[in-house]
Structure 1
Amino acid sequence: MTDERDVERDDERDVRERAGGARRMKFAALAVVAALAVGVGAFTLGGGNAAKSPGKDDAGRSVAVPSSTPTEAVPDKARFLAPANGATYFGIAAPDAPWKSAVLAKAGKDAGGTVPNMVEYFVNWTKGFDPGAVRSAYSQHALPVITWEPWAGAAKGTKQPSYALSTIIDGTHDAYITSFAKAVKANGWPVALRFGHEMNGHWYPWAERNGINKPGQFAAAWKHVHKIFDQVGADNVIWIWAPNVLRGADRVSLKSLYPGDAYVDWIGMSAYDVSEHTASRLLDPTLHTIRDFTARPLLITETGSQPGSQKAPWIGTFFPWLKKHPDVIGFVWFQYTHADGGGANWTFTSSPAAEQAFRKGAGTLRLAPVPAPAGS
């Protein structure tokens, strides 16, 4: 039997690799953009300590379930695809979420009582599917979003030829993909799967501009993975294709990276405010580009704002922007600080002004209901 301390150390290493390493790579690029706009000294990007180890055993013993939302049998994924009557998703990605229920509860308290109904976490291809994480998320009435990263973590570097797109296409990883897909199917509960995010950058091995891949391979790899899920009957997956915003990414056609509507349920977007004064300046260019080739619902799968005098005003523009775009079904706020390995304090609690602006905006949301497992 695996020693529980070994599992915790593996989890801690995984979070450290992702939150500390990968974020430093991406936010270094953002720092260049920010420096050009307002000067290098105004931003604190990179560095940071490891995030805490996710407490996987927490899922089975300390999940607080609000009594106001009824439990029910395993739902079909269709109920989540298009929230009705203006309902939306408010998600967070944060250390220890979804395993520790206190994380979402605190986020809800900090947001003035609006408790997140979505939670995002990261799984690289050295890890299997964790049904406990999914149950923990649903027990908190939160839809789980798995950012599924085809690499061995940031500690192995940005290239990792053993995870080049060609190795996905040629079937090298089929056994792992099939095992993961079968576990997802066996678990039953719908999961949103953000596979190979920010593929229009260069800081991950699955990016076509990384140096180990060729044009056209990302869409081909996506279709290959999707086909395996289809073959095993894992139809409880909400597929999220999620580029980075154009600002800070490589000059590559988003349309050329898109596998097509037949393979995608939601569009995602990583969007961090580093120099913009309004949400529209950050989000509109990429949204308009995406709408040239797909009308799929869009979820902002990572967002946050750089600390500074612009943060509270930027948050103040974000929620009205969301209301004006009914095709944008929600967002996931990146609740990582510099100490957590986030590269900067992206949290909405970084200052009283930012928190107050977020509370005001969150109070205007009407969240889509997410059921919990019976007996939670």
Structure 2
Amino acid sequence: MGKVNKDLDKDFKSVKKESITNFNKRWVIIIIGFIFIMLLGTILIFKTIKHDVQNWEICQNNYDGFILSYPKDWQKKIIPGVATILSKDGYIKLTIFVQPLDKVNAEQYILYSNRSINEGWGGIKLKSQKKINLFGYKAWQFDWIRTRLSPSDLNYYREFDVIIGKKVYTFMLKSDQQHFLDATKDLNNVFLTFKTIPAMVKPDFPSVPMVKREINIEGQHHRVNIPSGKTLWGILNPHKIGQIKYFDNLLPLEKQLDFKFQFLITYASLDTKFNQTELEQIYKDNRILMVALQPWWYGKKNDTSLIALIQGKYDFILREWACQFKNLGDPVFVRFGNEMNGDWSTWSAWYTGKDTDIYKMAWEHVYNIFKSEGAKNVIFVFNPHDRSFPNFKWNNYLLYYPGDKTVDWIGLTGYNNGTSYPGDVWRDFDTIYDPLYRKYMNNFPDKPFMITEFSCNEKGGNKANWIQQCFQHLSTNYPNIKIVVWFNQVDGKWQYNIDSSSQSFEAFKKGLENPCYHFQAIYSK
């Protein structure tokens, strides 16, 4: 019996070993077959791609570190260190951003950037969101649509957020309903040619030649003359929006400073109605006005009125403003949707799926209405904030620029916030404006500049010295800045007012005595 059991055991082990061997062989064959099929599929794909792309153009971005191919009939634009844009009119626009992950991880960056898509702001409808393996890369895919805003509007989107090391490569495609399927196939084909390379070049903003610019603007009743080497000072002083009533608080201040501010600014939201008599009074007193037209209902959270504005729902408001400004007959500066690169502005692309073209569509709509109403005296000012927030590539100010044809002046805005809040940093005047001026002069060399609003907080450093540096360097180091506007108000904990201390007030008063700033610029005809 023992021998029989041993023989059975031996036979069992032999059968078991043979079964395991056969099982392993089957799995090896299956795995090899699967790999073969995958390789064959890949080869077929690449053969197809090779056939399609053999006459494609090469796009090599040495700023962001990648190379790919794209169809020959597409246009290419590289904004150094910002974006690569590939497009074909009426069919596709593919924008590629390369975002280094310095202070956030990939998921934080992707979800924060796409919050408007997930929340459905501005008429966005999310079709799908998923994590995918994109030809061997970890990636997120978003598909969404939004309301079509014009016959040529591309309102169907697909986005790949590809995670490679400590960077996210975003491929944001948009097309229309008719061409979306073909466009997504092209996106896949383009991506199959994509590979990373070392980023060898950094955007360079060299020092610019000293520009000598004189400003002459003719109106019906007044003319503006800002000679070369001089800078016109303006002010944003406490006043009632719409009614304005600037002189109630302004005249006593001007008496103390022994200085007349010939350039005034105010704000307007969609619920603002201007008092025409008050507007006329400003010009009768040999002053001119700049209005920040902000496309929202004041104080409304997550307001995406920018979409409704493009659709024409607020044309009656825009036409009323245009007619009021036209009737003044003299120069009126308009900065539409200022600080669009800050997420505190509801006209930022953060609210519209990162698509800065929507802002540009709104700008063009406003511009065309003002021109159609004959408001030729209106001067349009493009005015980003000096620091984009979030400081992501898709939010760069250059992506919002409407174009030279509809922009007359370039506005600069940079504040020294001091240290009143956590995260605030004291910044000297030149620390803010020297790099900003160089960038803008390289990007907008043919436009006159103005500082549309700026100021210095009292807390965190020596405000009087800051003001002194500003007056010393403004007219000499920044000759293309022809107008500057001081924000003379307390804003929360930020003490931006001129008289935040006696030392600051005296420094400001002394600075205005400089002949570069103390001159007549507005003349009656």
Instruction: Indicate whether the TM-score tops 0.5.
Output: yes
Deviation by residue 1:115-154 (Cα, 9 ceiling, x = unmatched):
2111111111112343223222223322111111111102
Q: CA deviation at 1:268?
A: 1.2
Whole-Å separation in 2 of the counterparts to 1:247 and 1:350 = 28
Match of 1:270 among 413, 418, 431: 413
**Aligned residue number for residue 137 of structure 1:** 282
Q: CA deviation at 1:93?
A: 0.9
Structure 2 unaligned segments of length 5 or more: list them: 1-217, 418-424
Deviation by residue 1:87-134 (Cα, 9 ceiling, x = unmatched):
3221111212751424222332343x1221111111111123432232
Deviation by residue 1:12-52 (Cα, 9 ceiling, x = unmatched):
xxxxxxxxxxxxxxxxxxxxxxxxxxxxxxxxxxxxxxxxx
**Pair 1:298 & 2:449 matched:** yes
Contact 2:352 2:358 in 1 (8 A): no
**Pair 1:366 & 2:518 matched:** yes
Q: Secondary structure at the match of 1:194?
A: strand
Whole-Å separation in 1 of the counterparts to 2:499 and 2:389 = 25
**Aligned residue number for residue 218 of structure 1:** 359
Contact 2:410 2:449 in 1 (8 A): yes
**Pair 1:317 & 2:469 matched:** yes
Alignment TM-score, normalising by the size of structure 2:
0.52
Give the letter for the 1:147 counterpart. Answer: A
**Pair 1:352 & 2:502 matched:** yes
Give the letter for the 1:310 counterpart. Answer: N
Give the letter for the 1:350 counterpart. Answer: S
**Pair 1:74 & 2:220 matched:** yes
**Aligned residue number for residue 486 of structure 2:** 333
Q: Secondary structure at the match of 1:305?
A: coil
Match of 1:258 among 398, 401, 415: 401
Q: CA RMSD in A?
A: 2.4
Deviates more, 1:214-223 or 1:165-174: 165-174
Whole-Å separation in 1 of the counterparts to 2:268 and 2:454 = 19
Q: CA deviation at 1:247?
A: 6.4
Whole-Å separation in 2 of the counterparts to 1:271 and 1:345 = 15
Q: In 2 relative to 1, CA 317–73 (structure 1 residues): closer, same or farther, beyond 3 Å?
A: closer
**Aligned residue number for residue 191 of structure 1:** 332
Contact 2:437 2:478 in 1 (8 A): no
Whole-Å separation in 1 of the counterparts to 2:308 and 2:513 = 46
**Aligned residue number for residue 147 of structure 1:** 292
Contact 1:107 1:115 in 2 (8 A): no
Give the letter for the 2:414 counterpart. Answer: A
Greater per-residue helix proportion = 1
1:102-113 to 2 correspondences below 5 Å: 102-111=248-257, 113=258
Deviation by residue 1:203-225 (Cα, 9 ceiling, x = unmatched):
11111123566232112211111
Deviation by residue 1:304-323 (Cα, 9 ceiling, x = unmatched):
11113321111111112211
Q: In 2 relative to 1, CA 362–241 (structure 1 residues): closer, same or farther, beyond 3 Å?
A: same
What is the total number of aligned residue pairs between the two structures? 291
Contact 1:301 1:331 in 2 (8 A): yes
Higher normalized contact order (CA 8 Å, seq sep 6+, divided by chain length): 1
Q: CA deviation at 1:368?
A: 4.2
1:28-67 to 2 correspondences below 5 Å: none
Q: CA deviation at 1:249?
A: 5.9
**Aligned residue number for residue 279 of structure 1:** 429
Structure 1 unaligned segments of length 5 or more: list them: 1-71
Q: In 2 relative to 1, CA 130–260 (structure 1 residues): closer, same or farther, beyond 3 Å?
A: farther
Q: CA deviation at 1:256?
A: 1.3
Whole-Å separation in 2 of the counterparts to 1:208 and 1:290 = 21
Whole-Å separation in 1 of the counterparts to 2:380 and 2:453 = 16
Whole-Å separation in 1 of the counterparts to 2:409 and 2:303 = 28
Contact 1:110 1:349 in 2 (8 A): no
Q: In 2 relative to 1, CA 343–143 (structure 1 residues): closer, same or farther, beyond 3 Å?
A: farther
**Aligned residue number for residue 115 of structure 1:** 260
**Pair 1:181 & 2:322 matched:** yes
Whole-Å separation in 2 of the counterparts to 1:190 and 1:73 = 6
**Aligned residue number for residue 18 of structure 2:** none
1:73-92 to 2 correspondences below 5 Å: 74-75=220-221, 79-80=223-224, 83-92=226-235
Q: CA deviation at 1:173?
A: 2.0
Whole-Å separation in 1 of the counterparts to 2:434 and 2:350 = 24
Contact 1:199 1:206 in 2 (8 A): yes
Q: CA deviation at 1:200?
A: 0.9
Q: CA deviation at 1:363?
A: 1.1
Q: CA deviation at 1:240?
A: 1.1
Alignment TM-score, normalising by the size of structure 1:
0.71
Whole-Å separation in 2 of the counterparts to 1:343 and 1:87 = 33
Q: CA deviation at 1:277?
A: 4.4
Q: In 2 relative to 1, CA 247–152 (structure 1 residues): closer, same or farther, beyond 3 Å?
A: closer
Whole-Å separation in 2 of the counterparts to 1:345 and 1:315 = 14
Q: Secondary structure at the match of 2:415?
A: strand
Q: CA deviation at 1:371?
A: 3.7
